[in-house]
Amino acid sequence: MSKVGKSVLWITRTAMMLAVLVAVQYLTRGLGQLVTGSAVNFVLVATALLCGMSSGAIVAVVSPFLAKLLGIGPLWELIPLIALANLAISSIFASVLGRARKLAGTEKYAMWISAIVAGAVAKYFVLYLGIVKIVLPLMTGLADVQKTKLSAMFSTTQLITALIGGVIAMLAVEPIREALKKSRVRE
């Protein structure tokens, strides 16, 4: 494939995964943070693993801004930290599991578990430290009730949804990759 063809393919895949992520956010918005967060984390991880680290990074960073523009994101002040947390989970998965593709059996599952835990913990710490411990205390115009609600949204629940999203990815990414390979063979 030519360099231009590869660029077009990269742009197309990245745009498609970004559209999938925004659609998932929009369609699950009424189902609660556990469902939406888990689905979002799955798409973030799947993008990094199926399309590469650069696509994963673009989707991770751009998606919270688009979500806010669609009216499904939190306060603007929090969006950069959400983007950074998304970048943390997708980057960790892409880097750890990029090496695991050549492994099999117990070693492969150990790498998956390591990526799930490391990615979830990284996302949790970025959100918890950045939002709960730094940004929210500095926001003087926000009512205590709102701060309490936002603190709850960006603490343990984030860890849980990141873990769930990682487990879903562990179960779904390999079958998706195999299906994509089969579809390319038929072309």
Which tens digit of pLDDT belongs to each residue from 116-148?
999 999 999 999 999 999 999 999 889 999 999
Alpha-carbon gap, residue 121 to 88, rounded angstroms: 9
Q: How confident is the model over 82-123, as pLDDT tens digits?
A: 999 999 999 998 888 777 777 788 888 888 899 999 999 999
Residue 7: which pLDDT band, with cuts at 50, 70 and 90?
A: confident
Alpha-carbon gap, residue 129 to 137, rounded angstroms: 11
Classify residue 142 by its DSSP letter. Answer: S
pLDDT value at residue 185: 56
- Find the mean pLDDT for residues 75-88: 96
Structure tokens at 150: 């936002």
pLDDT value at residue 97: 78
pLDDT value at residue 186: 54
Task: Give me the amino acid identity at 20.
Answer: V
User: Is residue 187's pLDDT more than 70?
Assistant: no
Query: Rounded to two decimals, what is the model's pTM?
Result: 0.89
Q: How confident is the model over 15-57, as pLDDT tens digits?
A: 999 999 999 999 998 899 999 999 999 999 999 988 989 999 9
To which residue do tokens 């939406």 refer?
Answer: 36
Half-sphere exposure of 142 (CA within 13 A, CB side): 19
